[in-house]
Every structure is written in C-alpha cells, then in structure tokens.
Amino acid sequence: MPITFKEVSYEYSANTPFAYLALDEINLKLADGKMTAIVGATGSGKSTLVQHLNALLIPTRGELEVADRKIVANQKNKGLKELRHQVGLVFQFPEYQLFEETIVKDVAFGPQNFGISENEATEIAKKAIRTVGLDDSYFEKSPLELSGGQKRRVAIAGILAMNPSVLVLDEPTAGLDPQGAKEMMALFRKLNTEDRKTVLIVTHDMEHVLNYCDDVVVVEKGHILMHVDKQTFFEDTSCLERAKINPPAVIRLRKLLQQQGFDIPNTILDLPTLAKLVRKEVAK
Amino acid sequence: MKAIEVKNVSFAYDREDVICDVSFSVEQGTYTTIIGHNGSGKSTVAKLIIGLLEARTGEILVEDYPLNLENLYTIRDKVGIVFQNPDNQFIGSTVRDDIAFGLENHCVDHDRMDPLIEEFSEKVGMQEYLNSEPTKLSGGQKQRVAIAGVLAMSPDILIFDESTSMLDPQGKAEINALIQQIHEEKNLTIVSITHDIEEVAASDHVIVLNKGKVALDGTPEEVLNKEKTLYELQLDIPFSLKWKHALEKEGITVKETLDVKGMVDELCRLRSKK
C-alpha cells in the first residue's frame, strides 16, 4: 500500500492567536519500497509532514493512509499503536532520547513495549546494534558515555529493533562525520533494497540525495513544490533552481564544463562518465 | 608569534587516555582547521586549550602564557569559543541580554555595554533582533548571537567547535562567510574544528586527529594529498581530488589539486592543443 496524503493541512495551536498553518492541503503519494528524500528550507514543513506518518500529528484537515491505516482529521483514530509498530520514526538528534543504563536495554525498550518478552527483546536488540555497526563490546556500556555519532547509531538501532516496514528519518546524518554519515546512508539503502522497507529521509545533503535516494519531494512553505525521480531532479538544473537548492559538486562541475563548451549532456550525474566525455575532447 | 602551543599533552576522562601525547602549534593570524572522525578527540583538545579540562601531563601555551590557574583568566580573555549546538549556549532571555551576559562577567561598565552590544550585533547582522527571544531565532541566527557574544570580549583567538554542523545549508554558508570576514578584518587567529573538507581545503593549516593522536599536520596541500592516510582514517577527500582521480583514470593529468575551476581551465588549454 502506498502512503497517500489527501488534502492534508496541519495547523499548530489551531484556534488560538498563535495559530500557524504548517501544511496547506498537501496531496502526496509515495510508492512502496522507494527511498525518498524530503528536502526544503528550514521551516518549510518537512518535519511536520513526516510526523504525520506515525500519527504523532493528526491532520487538522484531510486524511492520510499509511501501512493500511487511515488517519482522518477530527476523528478518533483507532489502531495507532499498531501503526507506530509499522512506521519507525527517528527524530532529529535522537541521541537526546537515550535513557537506559545499558545500550542493550535501551534498544530492547521498544520491542518490549510492543509485548515481546525480555529475553527475545534482548536478542532482537543485539542484532539491531550489530546492524548499525557497533560490535558486541558495546552491549553493556552506558549509552551516555558514547560519542555523538555512536549515540545516533544506538538511537537508530532502537527503531530498527521494532522491525518497521516504513522507516522515517528526520535528518539522520546531521552532525555526523562524513564517513559515519556515508555508512548510515548505506545502511538505510540496504534496509530499503534488501529488506524492502519504504524509507523517507528528511535531509539537506544533496550528495546523499544524489547517491542514495530514488525520488525527491521538495516542500516549500507548507506546499509540495515538486515530487520527481532523482534523475529528473538533477538532470536539468531548473528543478534545483525552482527549489532554491545549491546543486551538488558534480552538477556544478558539469555546468562549468558545459559553459566552457564541452559536449556533455544533462543526463550525466557521475564523475567517471564526466571524465570519459572530457577525454573524448582533450585526448589525441 | 605562536598563538597556541600544545606540547606533549595527554588527557583521560577516567582511566584511558583520550588524548595521548598531542603536540601542535597554531601561528598567529592563521586559519587553522582540525579534522578527525567522531570521537577522535577534537572537542577535548578545544576544551583543554580554554582550560575547561585540565591536561594530565604536558603543557599548553596561549600567546606564550602557560595555561595554569594563575593565567587561566588572562587566557580566557584571549580565547573565545563557539560550540556546536546553538540551543545549549543561549543564556539570556533576549539577544541583547545574551551578549550582555559575557560582558557582565568581564565586569564591563554598564555605560560601555550598550555601544558594544550595538557594535557587535551589527557586525554579525543581528542588530534588528536585539529584543528578540531565542525561540524566535533560527539555528544560524543563534550562532550569530553566540559569535557576537565572544567577539564583544575582543579575543585574539576564536575557536569554532563544529559551529555549523547543526545548521541547514544556508545557515552554514552564512556562518562560514562571517567567520571568514572576521578572520580577514581583524586578523584574528581562527581554529575551526570541522567535518567540512572544502573548508579545510581553503584554510592555512590542517591538523588531523585520530584516536587522540596527531595523525597529520601541515598545509591543506600537504595533508589532503596524503590520500591513503586520509582513507585509512576514514576521512573524506575534497571533490577536486576526486575529479582529478577520475581524470587520471582516463589518462588525463592536471596540475591543479584543490581548485576545480582551475582544473577546468587546464582542460580547456589541453583541448586547444589537440
């Protein structure tokens, strides 16, 4: 089942003088099994949008469907616990939410909350911790003594331990070192391709969009400005210009080469092919 | 003169040394970057330099003053620091109060305070927000206020500990431009702890930390060309070098290493020779 938003609006502090319309009649359909990037300026409504996916926010108007559940504005919606099991949401800076004595306990908290026995939850937790790239020596450590990047991994393991079918990540790599960020993105891609999870990533990093995602949704001032596949998004820089996004380095290079008269089509999005085309013109 | 000298410094939070026998120096007026992956000891080094942490062994000098209890406050007058998280360093209830807080701590007269606040909020482009509450500001604006707060103390050295890593691309670009402007105008020594390899490429001096030790130390050209080591340390290389390698694979050699525009110009010359 695709994720569908139908005319969804969300207003913070509705019916007060501080009312603020963060989403304005949004329509959006996200196909199963895709890895989609949600991009847009700070304050555009990206986080508000994704917080609807596990019913942390309920639309003020309109309705959405996710993981076979319908969430409708102004209604008592049932089955939200099961929905939260199906849709794992990782907040910005999730490391602030770690609280248990040991990493295993912290990660096992989620599955236990959904009725899994302590022993089984511990096994699931250990597997999730290994999946995010931390070895067995971390199991009994306190989550509070880890570095920022390691804490982030533990927080993500906590969501993976619930084995959600939809994974929603709000800026999962902000503040990580480049290598750590790449490993995280590769992990999400693997969960997407091998475990067939639908993945949504809120990000500002266009290199990540280019290298790991299938589709791009651009949010602007509470509206969906565009929803296109990656190739279209980066091919012709008019999409990037409309979205007011600084293109990734490889696209800037392509443009620079084109301006200097090199014959390079807009479809090229990678360095090896750019180099091949340049060779055709400079080599004997 | 050397702005900062770190000599054989080791430090442990409990038993294990997280900084082991680290030595480096920062020349006055330079833009120095410190890189290394999460947990390599970068932030610990910054905290040692401003005396928030005390080294187990070794010596730190700031403008030739040895860091000890006697000189601690002299040194803190010379070194300002801006941290990573804009929310954790906003103390006042308005922008004006926040900048005033540091000045009060430095016993600046009330009469002198207002002009200083005006001057430095203008410097960082926040003069229109003096009466705004922090909740009304974006992350980038909060970091501007933090920068105004330390600038108002007229330090000689500014340390930025991943000050842009929590900001969106626009906020990042604005703060980086502001840091560059301060560096050039006031000839301040800048030490920037960063993950941004393009910022590193544009700096004067790079120190690479790994597991609490100095792994590489030199100019960006020297350090960034040691790709094998950078790869082993799980650090990124600048885009320009990736492009250089892609060209090399096709049998094209360019001289330029850090300037993409320069490389494209070279390619144009190669093409006209054809």
Q: In 3-state terms, chain A is what percent helix, strand and coil (to 5)?
A: 40, 20, 35
On whether both B193 and B79 belong to a single domain, the answer is yes
Q: Give A219's contacts in chain B (Cβ within 8 Å).
A: none
Query: Do A177 and B195 count as a contact with CB atoms less than 8 A apart?
Result: yes
Domain annotation covers residue A110: yes
pLDDT at A7 over 60: yes
On whether both B119 and B141 belong to a single domain, the answer is yes
Range of the domain at B252: 238-274
Picking from B178, B116, B171, B172, the residue whose alpha carbon sits closest to that of residue B149 is: B116
Of A43, A261, A275, the CB nearest to B246: A275
On whether both B141 and B43 belong to a single domain, the answer is yes
CA distances from A247 to A227, A269, B33, B198, B267 (A): 17, 11, 25, 15, 22
On whether both A260 and A281 belong to a single domain, the answer is yes
On whether both B202 and B219 belong to a single domain, the answer is yes
**0.85 surpassed by complex ipTM:** no
Q: How close is the nearest chain B Cα to the Cα of A249, in Å?
A: 7
On whether both B187 and B175 belong to a single domain, the answer is yes
Tell me the three state secondary structure of residue B7.
Answer: strand
Supply the mean pLDDT for chain A. 92
Query: Do B171 and A42 count as a contact with CB atoms less than 8 A apart?
Result: yes
Report the sign of the C-alpha dihedral through residues A159, A165, A169, A173, in that order.
positive
pLDDT at A75 over 90: no
Q: Regarding beta strands B17-27 and B2-12, do their DSSP bridges make them parallel or antiparallel, or are they unpaired?
A: antiparallel
On whether both B129 and B256 belong to a single domain, the answer is no
Tell me the three state secondary structure of residue B13.
Answer: coil
On whether both A121 and A232 belong to a single domain, the answer is yes
On whether both A278 and A256 belong to a single domain, the answer is yes
Mean predicted confidence (pLDDT) in A197-208: 95
On whether both A151 and A219 belong to a single domain, the answer is yes
On whether both B271 and B202 belong to a single domain, the answer is no
Q: What integer pLDDT is reported at residue A255 of this predicted model?
A: 94
Query: Across the beta sheet with B189-193, what order do the strands follow?
Result: B79-82, B157-161, B189-193, B31-35, B205-210, B213-218
Q: How close is the nearest chain A Cα to the Cα of B36, in Å?
A: 8
**Cβ–Cβ < 8 Å for A45, A51:** no
Which residues make beta-bridge pairs with A30?
A3
- Confidence band, pLDDT 50/70/90 cuts, at residue B137: confident
Q: How close is the nearest chain B Cα to the Cα of A34, in Å?
A: 25
* Better-scored residue on pLDDT, B37 or A275: A275
Q: What integer pLDDT is reported at residue A144 of this predicted model?
A: 84
Mutate to test the interface with A, among B15, B83, B233, B250 (most CBs of A within 10 A): B250
From CA B99, how far away is CA B124, in angstroms rounded? 12
Q: Which helix or strand (DSSP H or E) is residue A61 part of?
A: strand A61-66
On whether both B268 and B134 belong to a single domain, the answer is no
User: Is 0.80 surpassed by the pTM of this model?
Assistant: yes
Q: Give A149's contacts in chain B (Cβ within 8 Å).
A: 37-39
Q: Give B236's contacts in chain A (Cβ within 8 Å).
A: 178-179
**Size of chain B in residues:** 274
Domain annotation covers residue A269: yes
Residue range B170-194, pLDDT digits in tens: 888 888 999 999 999 888 999 999 9
Mutate to test the interface with A, among B13, B34, B38, B227 (most CBs of A within 10 A): B38
Q: Give B250's contacts in chain A (Cβ within 8 Å).
A: 275-276, 278-279, 283
Residue range A8-20, pLDDT digits in tens: 999 998 888 888 8
Q: What integer pLDDT is reported at residue A284 of this predicted model?
A: 54
Domain annotation covers residue A22: no
Mutate to test the interface with B, among A39, A42, A211 (most CBs of B within 10 A): A42
pLDDT at B222 over 90: yes
Per the structure block, which two tokens stand in for B171? 């906020």
Mean predicted confidence (pLDDT) in A210-218: 97
Q: What integer pLDDT is reported at residue A52 of this predicted model?
A: 95
Q: What integer pLDDT is reported at residue B104 of this predicted model?
A: 87
CATH number at residue B201: 3.40.50.300
Q: What integer pLDDT is reported at residue A177 of this predicted model?
A: 81
- Confidence band, pLDDT 50/70/90 cuts, at residue B274: low
On whether both B45 and B91 belong to a single domain, the answer is yes
Tell me the three state secondary structure of residue A25.
Answer: strand
Q: Does A147 touch chain B (CB under 8 A)?
A: yes
Q: How close is the nearest chain A Cα to the Cα of B173, in Å?
A: 11
Query: Do B247 and A260 count as a contact with CB atoms less than 8 A apart?
Result: no
Domain annotation covers residue A280: yes
Q: Give B261's contacts in chain A (Cβ within 8 Å).
A: 256
Per the structure block, which two tokens stand in for A124? 């699931």
pLDDT at B200 over 80: yes
Report the sign of the C-alpha dihedral through residues B142, A92, B34, B228, in that order.
negative
Q: Give B166's contacts in chain A (Cβ within 8 Å).
A: 174-175
Total domain count, chain A: 2
Which amino acid does the sequence have at A81?
Answer: K
Total domain count, chain B: 2
On whether both B185 and B251 belong to a single domain, the answer is no
